[in-house]
């Protein structure tokens, strides 16, 4: 499904990847754009070549489910670390206060 309305399906951003974790790593913003353009929240995204986990990071940030695999053990471990870190960040930022704040007057 194309969710982007009249948006052109062309990536024009020139993103420099200084700290690449994988030789063909994509920018997270690109993967977030693709995931949001073609899927709805809650849908399952499958990445059979997960590499450093960028697609999974985008899925977590956008509320999609993700399944991926990577045959290279080093890249697999990199992806697992990135996905765990992203999940922890989402949990921290989405935390809701439990108490009720009383009024001053």
Q: What is the pLDDT of residues 3-35, one digit of tens each?
A: 777 776 666 665 566 778 888 788 888 899 999
Domains parsed from the chain with CATH numbers? 28-93 (3.40.50.150)
Q: At what angle do helices 54-62 and 28-38 cross, to 10 degrees?
A: 60
pLDDT of 80 above 90: yes
Give the Cα separation of 83 and 70 in Å (integer): 13
Q: Please give the share of the chain, as a percent, with pLDDT higher than 90.
A: 50
pLDDT of 100 above 70: no
Mean pLDDT of the chain: 83
Q: What is the mean pLDDT of residues 98-103?
A: 60
Output the pTM of the full model: 0.75
């Amino acid at each position: 499904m194309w969710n982007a309305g009249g948006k052109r399906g062309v990536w024009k951003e020139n993103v420099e990847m200084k700290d690449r974790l994988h030789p063909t790593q994509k920018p997270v913003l690109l993967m977030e754009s693709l995931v949001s353009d073609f899927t709805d929240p809650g849908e399952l995204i499958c990445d059979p070549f997960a590499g450093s986990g960028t697609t999974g990071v985008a899925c977590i940030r956008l509320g999609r489910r993700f399944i991926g695999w990577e045959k290279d053990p080093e890249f697999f471990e990199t992806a697992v670390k990135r996905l765990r870190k992203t999940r922890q960040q989402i949990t921290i930022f989405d935390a809701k206060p439990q108490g009720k704040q009383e009024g001053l007057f």
